A and B are shown apart, each in its own frame.
Chain A
Amino acid sequence: MSKKIVLILIVFLAFTQPNAEERDFFEELEIQSQSESRRNAVRVFSTIKETVSYSLNDRKGFKEGISQARSYVRLGMEAQPGPHLKYRLSGVYAEDLSHTYHSDLELADSYIDWGISDKVWLKSGRQTIAWGQSDFFQILDRANSRDMREFGLVGADELRIPVAATKLSYLGNRWGMDAVILHEVRVNKLASQGKEFDFFRDLRPALTEERTPSDTEWMMRLSANMAFGDASLIYANSFEDNPYVAHDPQKGNLYLNYLKTQTVGVSGNIVLDRAVLKAELAYNNQSSLRAKQGSISGPTVFKPTTNLMLGVEYAPNSDRFIMVEASNTYVNNHDESVGVSESQSAIISSLTQEFLRDELKLFVSWGHWFEEKSDLIRIGGEYALTDDIKLGIDYIDYRASDENALLEPFKDHDQIKTQLTINI
């Protein structure tokens, strides 16, 4: 009998007590109220990165061990004194105590963005102009060259190299137009002689010179946003960002040069529920291609090419992100002088998963070049110690199945990279 009473009491308490507890969670939380920052004032910002990489193998000219010990500082200021004016000044200094990079000291994004009217804007200075849909393949992103000194490992914030340009934009409600003139020619940063990721290592004794192009580059874009997706039509008159190898018969040496090319293309995306399908299609009136060995035309031939990129970004939930991009380059008028296949394809994919309310991010990515028989696998993570301090670690694996593979020179460069990033 007494057991029954105890049981009834337990049941009674179980159904009455929680309400009292639940109400507690509605109590107002007191925090030290943060005042709104002075948004009109000049904002000073800086990023400090300390990177240490450890190479896991002996490779040509280099031993297993620390391959990179790099300090990177970006310092800048930005102000928006009114709704029609924004200016920004920033610079970068970087020093690598080991053997992957050179030192850098240069003006980064530094520009004035001026609204002549609500709908007409002029932006002048060193800037980044990202028009393409692809995050990896450089198809219609023709304004900015890229930092390729460490193949596959350069962070997204350092990848695009800002260029001095003037951009005139018209902002329609659902469409817009941009015209850009570049005031300097900047080309991809490639690892130089004696550095670990030197693409031209095997040509170096004869390769003695790099010629700098000095012609005006310009480009235009017409873009539209629709309910189902976005679309752009782009024309560019610009230099290829990667050099080609040429032979100087008078000096008897090889040198690097850059090809001016005209590109016309379309890019766009379509939203399908939780996925965004994206595409880029471009026609280049001429591209530099490796010539067949022994070709009378020299080490490089020039042919029109067509580039296609198809990709998908899929977020099954707010913590998971899947991305796949596939590209194909088709060589028009392909003949026996050309040393690469008529059609060359590559695929890049990645999976990112966030944990602990975005504090921990883990990712795996894989790149495969079909005709070049190469693979790149990267597994890593990033943990936010605070909002401003992040710690990252990456493992990267380069694979090349034969001696002609794209990544054959780097096949032993597998490494572990750690990075501490402080944003202020």
Chain B
Amino acid sequence: MKTKILTLVLALTSTLTYAAPSAFEVMQAVDNRYIGDTRTQSGVLTLIDKNKNQKTRELVEVSRKINADDQSVTQVISPAELTGTSFLSYNYDDVQSQDESWIYLPQLAKVKRLAVSDRKGYFLGSDFTYNDLAGMEISLFDYQFDTKRSSEKEWVIDAYPSKTDTQKAIDETGYTRVTYWVDKDKKLVTKAQFWLEDGDRVKYFRASNIVQKDGIWTPLKLQMILTRNRQVQHSSIYEVKIVKYNVQVKDHVFTTRYLGKKIN
């Protein structure tokens, strides 16, 4: 009898394991992909306007996971006017809990509490919104495979604002539709196309130079191109220069009183 039960359990498990996942389950797997308990990272954000003029922002970031919650400190290294400006944020997995964030302004030597951020606002003048960088709440959208464009190596998934609360999804993300290209092995979005709520603007995201760092697949180059009526308006490229996972990061780094001091 015991053997029969065990066989049944194994059969059920293998059925679940090998059943084709739904588009939502793929996006869940992408969202839950292990990216280390802690991470230190430095990189350069390049902003390119339509006349190809470039501006750069050099950033350092330290982040950690506490259970399902995220804490991070980002410090601006350049340009000179923003040097030392630092952001501390506590992002909670539970949607009922309000995220917390502070900014340190070196010119005023002052830490200021920030209101709940406009997550569809652009980060440091780039084409990446806070949502693009931190990841959107996946339950805001309904997902379906684009079977014609999917291949052996990647899923192509169309995301539409959830039918249960369409306006909320648009209000919180600024997107009316998104198409993701997901690498099946790496569980990583390699490309995405975002249709913006205002006007004829579409954004194109690409992750490249994907390497394994400390056993974690990491794109070292992220780019986002903003177009309007199929004309490039602005582009942003974030190049990761140094990234380390699961290094020891001390608690005090994630406190308001430490803001402005060296984080990495």
Could you say which residues of chain B place their CB within 8 Å of the CB of A225?
100, 102, 255-256
**Complex: chain A residue closest to B127, CB-CB:** A357
- Identify the stretch in A3-11, A22-30, A191-199, A246-254 within 8 Å (CB) of chain B at 4 or more residues: A22-30
Verify B115–A315 contact, CB threshold 8 A.
Answer: yes
CA distance A326 to B206 in the complex (A): 48
Instruction: Determine if A169 is an interface residue (Cβ-Cβ < 8 Å).
Output: yes
Q: What would 10 more interface pairs be, CB under 8 Å, given A29-B235, A115-B261, A315-B115?
A: A25-B232, A26-B206, A35-B241, A80-B261, A171-B258, A225-B102, A225-B256, A273-B115, A317-B121, A423-B81
CB-CB contacts below 8 Å: A245-264 with B = none
A424 touches which one: B80, B117, B242 (CB < 8 A)? Answer: B80
Given contacts A25-B225, A128-B108, A229-B113, contact A171 B58 (CB under 8 A): no
Instruction: Determine if B107 is an interface residue (Cβ-Cβ < 8 Å).
Output: yes
Instruction: Determine if B79 is an interface residue (Cβ-Cβ < 8 Å).
Output: yes
Verify A31–B261 contact, CB threshold 8 A.
Answer: no
Verify A18–B230 contact, CB threshold 8 A.
Answer: yes
Verify B252–A118 contact, CB threshold 8 A.
Answer: yes
CA distance A313 to B105 in the complex (A): 16
Which residue, of A28, A31, A118, A276, has the highest number of chain B Cβ atoms within 10 A? A31
- Identify the stretch in B31-39, B47-55, B160-168 within 8 Å (CB) of chain A at 4 or more residues: B47-55
CA distance A160 to B108 in the complex (A): 8
Could you say which residues of chain B place their CB within 8 Å of the CB of A274?
115-116, 118
CA distance A387 to B81 in the complex (A): 8
Q: How large is the interface on A (under 10, 10 to 19, 20 to 34, 35 or more residues)?
A: 35 or more
Verify A29–B48 contact, CB threshold 8 A.
Answer: yes
CB-CB contacts below 8 Å: B45-89 with A = 46-48, 54-56, 58, 60, 77-81, 83
CA distance A43 to B83 in the complex (A): 10
CA distance A95 to B81 in the complex (A): 22
Could you say which residues of chain A place their CB within 8 Å of the CB of B208?
28
Which residue, of B77, B206, B225, B262, has the highest number of chain A Cβ atoms within 10 A? B262
Verify A36–B118 contact, CB threshold 8 A.
Answer: no
Closest 9 CB pairs of A and B: A318-B121, A128-B109, A25-B204, A387-B79, A130-B110, A80-B262, A357-B125, A423-B80, A36-B241
Verify A171–B252 contact, CB threshold 8 A.
Answer: yes
Could you say which residues of chain B place their CB within 8 Å of the CB of A176?
255-257
| Binary CB contact string for chain B from 198 to 211 against chain A (1 if under 8 A, 0 otherwise) | 00001010101000
Verify B42–A276 contact, CB threshold 8 A.
Answer: no
CA distance A127 to B110 in the complex (A): 12
Verify B251–A21 contact, CB threshold 8 A.
Answer: no
Verify B206–A28 contact, CB threshold 8 A.
Answer: yes
Q: How far is the CB of B201 from chain A (nearest CB, A)?
A: 12
Q: How far is the CB of B93 from chain A (nearest CB, A)?
A: 14
B234 touches which one: A115, A357, A386, A423 (CB < 8 A)? Answer: A357
CA distance A229 to B112 in the complex (A): 11
Instruction: Determine if B227 is an interface residue (Cβ-Cβ < 8 Å).
Output: yes
Instruction: Determine if B44 is an interface residue (Cβ-Cβ < 8 Å).
Output: yes
Given contacts A33-B239, A271-B98, A276-B115, contact A118 B250 (CB under 8 A): yes
Q: How far is the CB of B262 from chain A (nearest CB, A)?
A: 4
Instruction: Determine if B97 is an interface residue (Cβ-Cβ < 8 Å).
Output: yes
Verify B255–A34 contact, CB threshold 8 A.
Answer: no
Q: What is the interface of chain B, defined by CB distance below 8 A to chain A?
A: 42-44, 46-48, 54-56, 58, 60, 77-81, 83, 97-98, 100, 102, 107-110, 113-118, 121-122, 125, 191, 193, 202, 204, 206, 208, 221, 223, 225, 227, 230, 232, 234-235, 237, 239, 241-242, 250-252, 254-258, 261-262
Could you say which residues of chain A place their CB within 8 Å of the CB of B193?
22
CA distance A36 to B220 in the complex (A): 14
Instruction: Determine if A119 is an interface residue (Cβ-Cβ < 8 Å).
Output: yes
Could you say which residues of chain B place their CB within 8 Å of the CB of A314?
115
Could you say which residues of chain B place their CB within 8 Å of the CB of A45?
80, 83
Instruction: Determine if A61 is an interface residue (Cβ-Cβ < 8 Å).
Output: no
**Complex: chain B residue closest to A109, CB-CB:** B109
Could you say which residues of chain A place their CB within 8 Å of the CB of B225?
25, 29
**Complex: chain B residue closest to A82, CB-CB:** B262
Which residue, of B110, B121, B237, has the highest number of chain A Cβ atoms within 10 A? B110
**Complex: chain A residue closest to B46, CB-CB:** A31
Verify B113–A269 contact, CB threshold 8 A.
Answer: yes
Given contacts A274-B118, A313-B115, A357-B122, contact A36 B109 (CB under 8 A): no
CA distance A275 to B116 in the complex (A): 8
Instruction: Determine if A172 is an interface residue (Cβ-Cβ < 8 Å).
Output: yes
Given contacts A274-B118, A317-B118, contact A228 B98 (CB under 8 A): yes
Instruction: Determine if A388 is an interface residue (Cβ-Cβ < 8 Å).
Output: yes
Could you say which residues of chain B place their CB within 8 Å of the CB of A317?
118, 121
Verify A36–B107 contact, CB threshold 8 A.
Answer: no
Verify B109–A37 contact, CB threshold 8 A.
Answer: no
Could you say which residues of chain A place their CB within 8 Å of the CB of B258?
171
Verify A26–B191 contact, CB threshold 8 A.
Answer: yes
**Complex: chain B residue closest to A317, CB-CB:** B118
B47 touches which one: A119, A272, A357 (CB < 8 A)? Answer: A357
Q: How far is the CB of B25 from chain A (nearest CB, A)?
A: 25
Verify B55–A29 contact, CB threshold 8 A.
Answer: no
CA distance A80 to B46 in the complex (A): 25
Could you say which residues of chain A place their CB within 8 Å of the CB of B110?
130
Verify A119–B122 contact, CB threshold 8 A.
Answer: no
Verify A160–B109 contact, CB threshold 8 A.
Answer: yes
Instruction: Determine if A113 is an interface residue (Cβ-Cβ < 8 Å).
Output: yes
CB-CB contacts below 8 Å: A394-420 with B = none
Q: 30 A-B contacts, Cβ less than 8 Å apart? A: A25-B225, A28-B208, A28-B221, A34-B56, A34-B239, A35-B241, A36-B43, A39-B77, A127-B109, A128-B108, A129-B109, A130-B109, A160-B108, A171-B257, A173-B254, A176-B256, A227-B100, A271-B100, A273-B115, A274-B118, A276-B113, A276-B114, A314-B115, A318-B117, A318-B118, A357-B47, A357-B234, A388-B80, A388-B81, A390-B81
